[in-house]
Amino acid sequence: MIKLRRKISLFILILVSVYLTAYTVAAYTICSKYVVEQSGKAYWSSGPAGSLFPWPIKNGEIGIPMLFELNGTDLLIYNYLMKTYLLVILCAVLWAFTILLFYRQIKS
């Protein structure tokens, strides 16, 4: 019973790690191309505005050359998770924990 729980926990941890890694890559890619900072504020470079939550979506294909301010959720993700590299650190810690759990599973 305990081994089954460990296997399920490991599987869920691998899924979360893969999702968070894919999210991180997508978010940094989109922000590097479509987010600009002016006067200490972050903006989408053209419209309609994109989104960073629940999955990073680039701004619209219309390409209206205007600055659209990031909404509250996107601003939180951009300022506190991406600019501080906390998202990357979280991915690294999660993968380290996943590898440790995988190693313990194989060893036992």
pLDDT digits (tens, 9 = 90+) for 37-60: 999 899 998 878 889 999 999 877
pTM of the predicted model as reported, rounded to 2 decimal places: 0.89
Query: What local confidence, expressed as pLDDT, does residue 61 receive?
Result: 63
- Which of 18-22, 84-88, 99-103 comes out lowest in average pLDDT? 99-103
Alpha carbon distance 100, 38 (integer Å): 43
Is 43 exposed, middle or buried (CB count within 10 Å of its CB: 0-12, 13-18, 19+)? middle
